[in-house]
């Protein structure tokens, strides 16, 4: 977008009319730009844009039938004499002392009523307003109806308040007639501080070499040529350059015709505002000159962020607790009933962390939001900070200043809320530990069956022993081969229980690892969602505002 405004302006400047509707659209585009960059770009860099939008809206609303023309010049240039000569009245004080003109004077051609609000906005006091409403000495002034001519204070005044007033008024008028004299037409102040600054307002700039009668006729063309050279160096190529003689009515014909043409076109205000928009767009262009590489952080940065968040949230510790809880609970269900009671003396790992599934018998609504997951270590906190900074740095690396800083700040904007958000995410994650697998119950039933068989065999043997001790007839045990059935039941039940436990243990370990992987995956997704909401979404919002600002400024650059 670099230099687009300048090239388009050069191609379409001159007699090209400014479309009011297009100008309003451009101003609205600048407003959208300002809304998009609000809070992202320092206010100091947006002052000119806000000023132009406010001034343009007010100027367009006030009057489209009046053209405000200012006579600006240094002390002794004769602009007040020129003002009086054009008005054909002695309206503005003329003298040689400095300063002569301390306040702006205005002359309105036509009824004053329509121009009053415009002059109120410009800041010309009522006692310094004059009207040319009818013919004077037989001269017809109707061709200038709608002209509001201002005589500004001297821009080189020794009083600073006068210079400030000139600068203020130059930002409000529609067309500026710069009045120079043969002695000081090359003065550095007017060229470097004023004319050069108006290079984007060439369509509404006129330069007048006043007091041309003080030059010998042969010298006038040479002085005009030299002044044209200086204007070209100021970037004011093609700006009308006229010579005037305030004391001779014929010496004002060229300037009067230029003013009549300007008033008839009713384009000066629109061209001035269009130039203001051009200047603002050129000033704002460096803020959005780079085409964004994407709409958000890259996948690598997002993955690194998720890993860092998982570490800070204690996902490895929770996953380890899930594995331990699985083994603990599986052992409590599938273990040998004669020894599994000892497991109840060991706390459930998930219950210690106050995590969902920590108590298989607790209702879901009784789960607490705050967990007892260990706080992140210094290394984990450092890794998280680095990951968040990497998201901001990589996302805004290619953008012009100050956007990289804004993107990084957005990435870190909710850093203080992350610990609680991660804890809630871990607490709300379904770890898959609320349901007992069916095979646990099958193995548990089998363990109880062989245990009952062993206890039955033991009881049978004890009964026989008791009868013999009491001298009662001994029991005849059924036999399985050579072994009594009670002994077979006792020993077989014990051995079967141990065998089932031994065969089940590797299956439990394998299933516990699967449960850990499943829980770790779910937890990673949960903390990734936190990273999306608290880090990535703010970054994407800033990048989106950058794209909106770039698009809006592109529309504002149209002519």
Cα 137 to Cα 88, 107, 109, 134, distances in angstroms: 10, 18, 15, 10
- Looking at residue 406, its pLDDT comes to 93
Q: Are 105 and 124 in contact (CB under 8 A)?
A: yes
| Cα 281 off chain centre by | 18
Q: Are 133 and 180 in contact (CB under 8 A)?
A: no
Angle (CA) 70-73-177 rounded to 5° is 40
Query: Which residues have CB under 8 Å from 46's CB, separation 6+?
Result: 34, 37, 284
Structure-block tokens of residue 398? 């290619």
Count how many residues are written for the chain. 559
Q: Are 318 and 355 in contact (CB under 8 A)?
A: yes
Angle (CA) 76-81-84 rounded to 5° is 155
Distance, CA of 143 to CA of 444 (rounded, Å)? 109
Q: Are 101 and 80 in contact (CB under 8 A)?
A: yes
Which residue, 107, 59, 83, 36, is CA-closest to 288? 36
Distance, CA of 392 to CA of 407 (rounded, Å)? 5
- Looking at residue 472, its pLDDT comes to 79
Three-state SS string over 165-182 comes to HHHHHHCCCCEEEEEECC
Q: Which parts of the chain have pLDDT scores under 70?
A: 1-15, 91-101, 133-140, 338-345, 356-370, 559
Other beta carbons less than 10 A from residue 426's beta carbon:
25
Which residue, 134, 143, 375, is CA-closest to 257? 143
- Looking at residue 137, its pLDDT comes to 46
**Dihedrals φ, ψ of 442, to 5°?**
-65, -50
**Dihedrals φ, ψ of 471, to 5°?**
75, 15
Which residue, 299, 290, 306, is CA-closest to 394? 299
- Looking at residue 96, its pLDDT comes to 44
Torsion of CA 272, 133, 209, 90, to 10 degrees: -130
Reported pTM: 0.78
**Dihedrals φ, ψ of 184, to 5°?**
-125, 25
Distance, CA of 348 to CA of 325 (rounded, Å)? 6
Distance, CA of 153 to CA of 168 (rounded, Å)? 11
* Strand pairing report for 479-480 and 175-180: unpaired
Distance, CA of 3 to CA of 200 (rounded, Å)? 13
Torsion of CA 263, 266, 267, 272, to 10 degrees: 70
Residue with tokens 């803020």: 287
Other beta carbons less than 10 A from residue 379's beta carbon:
9
- Looking at residue 92, its pLDDT comes to 57
Q: Where in the chain is the domain with CATH 3.40.50.300?
A: 67-265
Query: Which residues have CB under 8 Å from 72's CB, separation 6+?
Result: 79, 152, 155, 166, 170, 176, 177, 178, 179, 194
Domain 67-265: assigned CATH number: 3.40.50.300
- Looking at residue 140, its pLDDT comes to 66
**Dihedrals φ, ψ of 342, to 5°?**
-65, -25
- Looking at residue 504, its pLDDT comes to 85
Distance, CA of 281 to CA of 556 (rounded, Å)? 7
* Strand pairing report for 241-243 and 205-209: parallel
Give the sign of the dihedral formed by CA 514, CA 517, CA 520, CA 525. negative
- Looking at residue 367, its pLDDT comes to 44
- Looking at residue 100, its pLDDT comes to 53
């Amino acid at each position: 977008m670099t230099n687009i405004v300048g090239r388009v302006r050069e191609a379409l400047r001159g007699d090209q009319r400014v479309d009011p509707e297009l100008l309003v659209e451009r101003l609205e585009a600048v407003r959208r730009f300002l809304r998009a960059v609000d809070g992202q770009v320092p206010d100091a860099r947006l002052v000119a844009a806000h000023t132009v939008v406010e001034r343009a809206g007010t100027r367009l609303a006030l009057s489209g039938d009046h053209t405000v023309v200012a006579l600006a010049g240094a002390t002794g240039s004769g602009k007040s004499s020129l003002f009086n000569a054009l008005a054909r009245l002695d309206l503005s004080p003329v003298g040689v002392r400095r300063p002569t003109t301390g306040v702006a004077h205005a002359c309105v051609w036509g009824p004053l009523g329509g121009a009053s609000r415009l002059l109120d906005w410009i800041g010309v006091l009522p006692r310094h307003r004059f009207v040319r409403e009818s013919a004077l000495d037989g001269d017809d002034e109707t061709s200038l109806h709608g002209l509001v001519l201002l005589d500004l204070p001297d821009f080189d005044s020794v009083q600073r308040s006068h210079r400030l007033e000139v600068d203020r008024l130059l930002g409000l008028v529609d067309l500026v007639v710069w009045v120079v004299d043969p002695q000081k037409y090359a003065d550095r102040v007017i060229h470097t501080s004023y004319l050069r600054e108006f290079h984007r307002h060439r369509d509404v700039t006129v330069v007048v070499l006043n007091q041309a009668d003080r030059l010998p006729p042969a010298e006038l063309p040479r002085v005009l040529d030299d002044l044209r050279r200086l204007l070209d160096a100021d970037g004011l190529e093609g700006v009308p350059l006229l010579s005037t003689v305030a004391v001779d009515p014929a010496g004002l014909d060229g300037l009067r015709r230029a003013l009549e043409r300007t008033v008839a076109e009713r384009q000066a205000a629109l061209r001035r505002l269009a130039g203001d928009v051009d200047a603002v767009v050129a000033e704002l262009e460096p803020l959005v000159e780079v085409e964004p590489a994407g709409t958000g952080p890259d996948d690598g940065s997002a993955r690194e962020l998720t890993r860092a968040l998982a570490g800070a949230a204690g996902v490895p510790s929770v996953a380890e607790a899930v594995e331990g809880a699985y083994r603990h609970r599986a052992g409590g269900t599938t273990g040998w009933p004669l020894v599994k009671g000892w497991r109840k003396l060991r706390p459930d790992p998930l219950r210690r962390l106050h995590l969902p599934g920590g108590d298989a018998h607790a209702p879901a609504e009784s789960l607490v939001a705050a967990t007892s997951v260990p706080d992140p270590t210094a290394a984990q906190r450092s890794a998280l900070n680095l990951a968040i900074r990497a998201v901001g740095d990589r996302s805004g690396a290619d953008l012009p200043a100050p956007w990289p800083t804004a993107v990084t700040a957005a990435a870190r904007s909710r850093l203080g809320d992350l610990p609680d958000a991660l804890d809630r995410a871990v607490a709300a994650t379904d770890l898959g530990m609320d349901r007992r697998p069916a095979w646990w119950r099958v193995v548990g039933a089998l363990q109880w069956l062989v245990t009952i068989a062993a206890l039955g065999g033991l009881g049978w043997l004890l009964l026989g022993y008791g009868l013999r001790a009491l001298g009662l007839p001994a029991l005849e045990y059924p036999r399985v081969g050579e072994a009594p059935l009670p002994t077979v039941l006792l020993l077989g039940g014990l051995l079967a229980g141990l065998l089932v436990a031994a065969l089940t243990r590797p299956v439990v370990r394998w299933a516990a690892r699967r449960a850990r992987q499943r829980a770790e995956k779910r937890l990673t997704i949960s903390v990734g969602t936190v990273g999306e909401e608290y880090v990535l979404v703010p970054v994407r919002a800033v990048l989106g505002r950058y794209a909106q600002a770039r698009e809006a400024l592109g529309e504002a650059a149209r002519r």
